[in-house]
Amino acid sequence: MSNSNGSDKNGEKSNPVDAAKRRAAFYCAEKHVSDGCHLGVGSGSTIKHFVDSLAERFKEGKLKNIVCVPTSIQTRQWLLEAGLPVSDVEQTPELDLCVDGADEIDPALNCIKGGGGCLTQEKIVQSCARRFIVVVDQSKKSSRLGEHYKSLPIEVVPFGYASVKRKIEASEGGKCVLRMAKQKCGPVVTDNNNYIIDWEIPKEGSKDWSALHTRLVVIPGVVETGLFIGVAERAYFGMEDGSVCELVKPGTTNGSSTSNGETCQQQACNGFGGRIVAPPTATNGS
């Protein structure tokens, strides 16, 4: 049985946020990944738990004939270490499903991604999938993009980063900061050998995020933005009490699990209108 109650593989308790990510990731994997699935696998700490769930079922013979297309070098390494079949978009250009995390997500399931610097490959893999599901902990929810995650990651060609910064600040306002590495001298370098600019989003309230993305990507030197607009069909939120909340894009029916779900409490789901699909864990006092 999958160990999705917040304990790590050694039986030791993880911190509450990590436990919430793990529960949501395990629920998503068990609900949506079946035999023969061609699967895009995202990046980040929540996705590590998703890989753990796939690996458990695969090794037990409960999940067969899947193919995993990673969105980063790190994810590829996790998949290989787990003994899962790995491919790429050249060999497997059409995917059934892509599952990824997010840095922020709004009630319409629009996302800001790119905190880990993998936004371009994440968007390529997502675009190859028929369905896209986001898995996060509840801290990633907001009423609008930019409410909690204050900057938008933008991948840029190194040669043009300075001109891109100037053009964005002149046309859109705010401030652009070249992301610097933590354990090396110099800027962060992506898997594509590019730089990341973090654009500190001006405080003007709501935006037409799709139009903003279009304006940004036509600037010479911009490779991709961290805006994922209108592409997610559902999201799973790991809650502090150990429950899992599902939010589904209106009109989505394929694989829906909301019909029998219990309506989320206003405080727990921040008015998102989602449903509890996995109850609180007993270890959290429920």
DSSP per-residue codes, the chain: ----SSB-TTSPBPPHHHHHHHHHHHHHHHHH--TT-EEEE--SHHHHHHHHHHHHHHHTTSS-S-EEEESSHHHHHHHHHTT--B--TTT---EEEEEE--SEE-TT--EE--TTS-HHHHHHHHHTEEEEEEEEEGGGB-SSTTSSS-EEEEEE-GGGHHHHHHHHHHHH-SEEEEPBPSSSSSB---TTS-EEEEEE--S-----HHHHHHHHHTSTTEEEESEE-S--SEEEEE-TTS-EEEEE-TT--TT---TTPEEPPHHHHTT---EEEEPPPGGGT-
94 is catalytic: no
Catalytic residue among 30, 104, 122, 224: 122
Catalytic positions are: 122
